[in-house]
Structures are given as C-alpha cells and as structure tokens.
Chain A
Amino acid sequence: MKKTFLAKRNAFLSSAKIPWSGFALIVVALLFLVRFFAPNLFWQMLAPLFHSADSLAAESHAFFSGFGNNTKLSLQNESLVNENTALANENQALLQKDASLEALLGSPTSEKNMPSEILAGVVARPPETPYDTLVLAAGAQAGVALGQEVFGAGDVPIGVISTVFSDFSRATLFSSPGVRIAGWAGPTDIPLTITGSGAGTMNAKLPRSASIAVGDIIFGPGPGMFPIGKVTRIDSNPTSSAVTLRITPALDLFSVSWVTVRGVSTALLNALSQATSTLP
C-alpha cells in the first residue's frame, strides 16, 4: 500500500521547507532583542569574536608579509610614515598650544589641569563598522561618559562618545555621515564647519577668497588645538563663490587599535544630530 499522502503531509509539516535564511532571520531577531534589552550582555557575548577577528587579521597580515622583502619593507615604511605623521601632528599641536598660551598669559604654563584620560581598546572599527563608529572596550565602569572626546595616537581627535554601556561604549567618528563640528583651517586659523562624509573622510566649505591650499592642516575641537587632518583636494565650481575642501584624517582610522577618552564636551554632543530613536 502506497503512503504518498502521508509522505506529502510529513513533508509539508517538516522544517526542511523553512529556508536557512529564515532560521538566520529568527536568530538575528533574537540577537536584536538581546541588544535592545541587554546591550552590555550583547557586547560581552560578541567581544571575544571581535578579538579573534583582530588576531586573525594580524596573523594573516604577518603570514602574507613573510613572502618577500619588498612587502616587509613597504610595511615598515608604512609604519614609519604613520609614526612620523603622528609625531608631526603632536608637534604641531604643541606649537599651537604654546603660541596660544603665550599670547594669552605671556608665559608657558604646565599641564597640571589636564583632565584624567581613559585608555580604551578598540573592539570594532571601520571598515567593518559601516557607519564610521568605533566600539570601545571601556564603558561606564571605567569612567567613560557620554560626550567625551576620543583621541588617537599623537593626540589626534577622532570622535565623540555617543553611547555608553556598562563595560563597552561606542564612539561616533567625526567622519561619520551627518556629524558637523567646528574647526579651524590653515596657518591663519580660519574658522569652518567640518562635515563627515563617511569612509574616514570629511568635507568643509569655505569662501573662494580664503587662502587655503592643499596640505594645510585642519584643527578640530577639544582642549587646545589638535590637528584632525589635512586638506588633500580643493574642489571648486566656477559658478559658486565657495570651494569644498576634501579632508583626510591625520590618523589611519582603519588600523586604530587603542584610543584615549577624556573631557566631556556639550558642544560635541550637540554636533551629533539628535535622532528620535531610543535604540541603545
């Protein structure tokens, strides 16, 4: 006796009909709920995965760099260029700070009043993070607060703390789309508004008459004047009275592995557009 009917009914009832992506959707929905109701637990669960992704990337980098001297030399060169850039930026910042203080007070002062800073490891960074954000392995328990400024190597300001959990926090980079901050450009400190344009880059508009050239340093917000990047291209339209500055950050945001967090700034918090969503 044939059992075609039963077999068909079983096939209809079996889970084999549910596609894999359907299961994936259910799992992702559960993860979303965990993130919504217990964000700290969510990041504690995923942080080991991000760390293993980091170590995998480092090991594969080391593996591929062992194939030839040229690769090794180019990597060393890249590292030295980065170090040099960081030192040059630090030097620029110190010179600017020294000049400002001397103009104000007449003599150099010590940095006794600098607020204490928090060192934080970076769990996730661009290009993995698509919205130009950093996930930091330091949260409220380490003293991180909403609106604190985030600095990379060489005291380069790179973003602001936008979300704080118990053990983790999220920093929105200045290059994140929609972020607008005040800054200064060039040797004459021309004030300008810097707009994030994604993928680690920023834009600013200035009148054509402003004397800005390619290679000029852009200074960002924060205690003292710290360089955040430099002008790499100037786009001008003959019909417009303004030029657009294309700014690349002073620090390679795609390889930043630690940052320092300090100084709450309400101005920076206001710089982030306020959204109506309450998602943590």
Chain B
Amino acid sequence: MIRGILTCSALISAIFFPWPFTAFLALVSSPIEPFLPFASGIFLDTLYYTPSTGIPPFFAITGAIVTLIAFSVRSRVRTGIIKR
C-alpha cells in the first residue's frame, strides 16, 4: 500500500508541487520502486519539455539512469542476502 501511495504521490506532485519535490520522492522511492524515477522523468518531460530550446529531455534521461542504478543496487542486495 505504501508503495502505491509513494508512486501516486510522485506522479501527482509533478502537477501540484515544484519539480524538486517530485525528484525527491522518486529518488527516495527508487530502492523499493525502481521504475518510479524513469516514470516520473518521462511524466515531467511529457508535461513541460519544449524541444525548441535545444536542450535534451533532462528528466527522462536522469530518471532512466537512476532506475538503472536502482536495479543494479537491488540485484546486489538480493544476491548478498541469498549468499548468507
């Protein structure tokens, strides 16, 4: 249930709060919900990204990187528990 609340909060905060709050929620939730940073990044860029400024979609790229890191960390942590 907590996971669901965290996921919904992160997405809704993209509309109701400044983006650093969304980024914080996504980052904090990433160990238990690894896809969330990527989903939040895509959502932020879907809402606000303007291609005409010539800058890359920063949030989708950063979200993808954080998601990859979260998966990597999770796999290492799981392996460690099994080995014990």
Query: Footprint of B on A, CB under 8 Å?
Result: 19-25, 27-29, 31-32, 35, 46, 49-50, 53, 56, 124, 127-131, 133, 135, 162-163, 170, 172, 176-179, 272-275, 277-279
- Further pairs besides A124-B47, A130-B59: 12, Cβ < 8 Å: A21-B38, A21-B39, A24-B39, A24-B40, A25-B42, A31-B43, A129-B48, A130-B19, A130-B44, A275-B51, A275-B52, A278-B51
B residues less than 8 Å from A128 (CB atoms): 14-15, 17-19, 48
Residues on the B chain within 8 Å of A170, using CB: 50
Complex Cα gap A46–B46 (Å)? 12
Q: Contacts A28-B39, A49-B15 hold; do A131 and B54 have CB atoms under 8 A apart?
A: no
Nearest CB in chain A: distance from B45 CB, A: 8
Check B53–A162 contact: CB distance below 8 A: yes
Whether A273 and B53, one on each chain, are in contact in the complex, defined by CB atoms closer than 8 angstroms, is yes
- Measured in the bound complex, the distance between the Cα atoms of B1 and A137 in whole Å is 36
**Centre residue among A20, A25, A172, A278 by max chain B CB count within 10 A:** A20
State the B residues within 8 Å of A (CB).
3-4, 6-8, 10-11, 14-20, 29, 33-36, 38-40, 42-44, 46-55, 58-59
Expressed in whole angstroms, the Cα–Cα distance for A128 and B6 within the complex equals: 19
Interface of B is mostly: helix
Q: How far is the CB of B72 from chain A (nearest CB, A)?
A: 16
* Residues on A with beta carbons closer than 8 Å to the beta carbon of B44: 130
12 A–B contacts from the bound complex (CB under 8 Å):
A20-B33, A21-B33, A21-B39, A24-B35, A124-B48, A129-B19, A130-B19, A177-B55, A273-B54, A275-B51, A275-B52, A275-B54
Cross-chain contact of B19 among A21, A50, A127 (Cβ < 8 A):
A127
Q: Which of chain A's residues has its CB closest to B26's CB?
A: A21
Residues on the A chain within 8 Å of B3, using CB: 19-21
Known: A130-B59, A274-B54. A21 touches B36 (CB 8 A): yes
**Partner of A162 from B6, B15, B52 at Cβ < 8 Å:** B52
Residues of B near A172 (CB, < 8 A) are 50, 52-53
Q: Which chain B positions have C-beta within 8 A of A56?
A: 16
